[in-house]
Structure formats: structure tokens, C-alpha cells
Amino acid sequence: MANSLDTLEAFWQQQSALYGDAALLGIPRGTASFTEQQPNVLPVVTSDPFRETAPAAQQQASGIGRKKTLAEVAAEATACTACALSRARTKVVFGQGSEKPRILFVGEAPDKDDDAAGLPFSGQTGALFDRMLKRMGFARGEVYITFPVKCKPPANRQPAADELSACHSFLQQQISLLQPRYIFCLGRVAAASVLNTSADIDTLRSSEHQYKGIRVFVTHNPAALLHNQGLFWAVFEDMKRFRAVYDREIGDKPPMPDAAKPGKNG
Ligand code: SF4
């Protein structure tokens, strides 16, 4: 595991040394840097909240409209058998982190390590996520991490539409209770679940979105990075864009380390 992560870091440094950040972010050599050329402001796309038209019975069954605690919602998820994913799970992976987070990260689905631990991003993908998080300047304890389905799909496949639909009320309730300032969707499935969209990942990455007044950002799933090192630069671009917004609005973090010098802080 360490080797593959080290390889990704080495790739990152090598590409930056060869081409610089600007070229890797799609800016021709000799022009202004990404930061100088763009104000780091994405166009904002306002999406209708997913399943706003869900039947009242479904919402009532999910507890929407009643005041619950996060622990009560987690207990419901732990006992849930609403979809087929309940049959093969070891542990329900409800979520983890601060109950007053500024950022809610939404991944794709629990993997086998998460399923065994009952916690999100527990294994190799989690180690990479931790590096991304640290590079952005955050620790796990100050953010919240969850998935749009709380049980592991078999063979690490993507969750099916009916499974996402069955589980969506838990995600809705988490967002409602946590009230994050920002939602960061990791991958197309996460973004589709939060934003009710079928757009592709690059289209989603190219805009900032909103969910019930909460600013939503999209980048690739860390699991995808483990299989495609080239995505590192797209993710780095997204991280920088998010940090630019965070720095303008909150401004309580030291500068984000440059990708060309990750050794010291990465
Ligand atoms: S994935 Fe969600 S809806 Fe399906 S069994 Fe698990 S908790 Fe219930």
C-alpha cells in the first residue's frame, strides 16, 4: 500500500517538475499560472434537491419532518434491511467525523475494509483520502465522511439505482442534521446522489453546485486515483479551487502546499 501511494506522490512530483502546475492544469506554458489566470471561481449550477418529490409516505418512513439525532438515524441505518445490500454486509458504514463539520465528504460506497471496520475510508483508499485531506489542510476530526449507500456492494461494484434510492433518506437526514457549509462529492456516484444529476464527472467538476443552499464541489473518487495516477492533477486542481473558496470565506488555514513540493507536508 505504501508503495502505491509513494508511487503516486513520486508521479505528482515528477510531472510537476517537468511541466509545472499550470501545464498540468491545462494552461499553456508561458502564460499566467492557474491561480493568476482564473479567479478560482467555478460557475454555479443550482440543482433541484434529489427526490424532493419523494412520496410523503417514504419521507415519513425515513423520519424526515421529525427531529432526530444523528445517533438515532445511525441506529436506524444499522438495523436497515431496505435493500439487497443488507444481505452481504458485515457492518453498516453510516459515517464518521465531527457533528459540526464545515465540510461533508461523500464517497461512492463502502469497500471491503470499510465493511469490516464499520468506518468510512478505512483501507488503502482511505489512506489516499487522508493524504488528500491533509494536503487540503484538514484533519478527519474536523470534517464528516459518509457514502450514499451505507452497506458494501458486492465485488466493489457501484451501487445500483434502487440501492441508492433506498438509502437516500439517510444521506438526506445526515445533511440536514450536520448542516455543513460545504459538501465535497468524491466521484460521479456521490455527485449524482447529492445533486440528482446524470452528468458525467468532468462536467460536474467544471461547475460549483448547490444543494439546499449548501455549496457543493465535485472531484474524482480516491479509489479511481489508485487505478489512474493521471487523475491526481485533476483532483489537485479541484482541491485548489475548493481551498480558494474556503480561504476567501473562512481563511483559517495555512496556505495549501504546492504539488511540486509535497515532501515536506504531503
Ligand atoms: S444500503 Fe442503505 S438502504 Fe440498503 S440496507 Fe444498507 S442502510 Fe439499508
pTM, full prediction: 0.80
The verdict on residue 156 lying in a domain is: yes
Ligand 1 proximity of 164 Cβ (cutoff 6 Å)? no
Ligand 1 proximity of 92 Cβ (cutoff 6 Å)? yes
CB 33 within 8 A of CB 250: no
The verdict on residue 20 lying in a domain is: no
CB 92 within 8 A of CB 80: yes
The verdict on residue 24 lying in a domain is: no
pLDDT in tens, the chain (266 residues): 444 555 556 655 554 444 444 333 333 333 333 333 343 556 666 554 444 434 434 444 455 556 799 999 999 999 999 999 999 999 999 999 999 999 999 999 999 999 999 999 999 999 999 999 999 999 999 999 999 999 999 998 999 999 999 999 999 999 999 999 999 999 999 999 999 999 999 999 999 999 999 999 999 999 999 999 999 999 999 999 999 999 999 999 999 988 764 444 44
Expressed as residue numbers, the domain containing 104 is 42-265
Ligand 1 proximity of 93 Cβ (cutoff 6 Å)? no
Q: Which atom of ligand 1 is nearest to the CA of 86?
A: 5
The verdict on residue 14 lying in a domain is: no
Nearest CA to ligand 1 atom 3: 167
- Ligand 1 centre to CA of 219 (Å) is 24
The verdict on residue 150 lying in a domain is: yes
Provide the number of structural domains found in the chain: 1
Concatenating the DSSP letter of every residue in 12-53 gives HHHHHHHHHHHHHTTPPTTS--HHHHS-S-PPEEEPPPTTTT
Q: Which atom of ligand 1 is nearest to the CA of 149?
A: 1
Copy the grid coordinates of residue 5: 501511494
CATH code of the domain containing 93:
3.40.470.10
The verdict on residue 223 lying in a domain is: yes
Residue ranges of alpha helices (H) inside 89-230 are 112-117, 124-136, 161-178, 188-195, 201-205, 222-227
Helix 161-178 vs helix 188-195: crossing angle, to nearest 10: 70
The verdict on residue 138 lying in a domain is: yes
The verdict on residue 51 lying in a domain is: yes
CA 224/CA 208 separation, integer angstroms? 21
